[in-house]
Amino acid sequence: MKQKLVLRFPAAVVEQPFIYILAKEYNVVANILKANINPRKEGSMVVELTAAPEEFATALQFLQSRGVEVSPLEQQIIWVEERCTQCGACTVICPSNALWMQRPEMTVAFCSEKCVVCERCLKACPARAVEALYLAGE
Among 71, 117, 134, 136, binds ligand SF4 (CB under 6 A): 117
Closest CA to 88 of 103, 76, 73, 75: 103
* Footprint of ligand SF4 on 57-86 (CB under 6 A): 77, 84-86
Q: Which stretch binds ligand SF4 (CB under 6 A): 2-10, 28-36, 44-52, 90-98?
A: 90-98
Exposed e or buried b per residue across 12-40, where buried means at least 16 C-beta atoms within 10 angstroms of its C-beta: eebeeebbeebeeebebebeebeeeeeee
Residue 33 or 117 with smaller CB distance to ligand SF4: 117
15 binds ligand SF4, rule: CB under 6 A: no
Q: Shortest approach of ligand SF4 to residue 49 CB, angstroms?
A: 21
Residue 9 contacts by C-beta under 8 Å, 6 or more apart in sequence? 18, 37, 42, 43, 44, 45, 67, 68
Residue 95 or 137 with smaller CB distance to ligand SF4: 95
121 binds ligand SF4, rule: CB under 6 A: yes
Residue 19 or 77 with smaller CB distance to ligand SF4: 77
Is residue 33 a contact partner of residue 134, using CB atoms and an 8 Å limit? yes
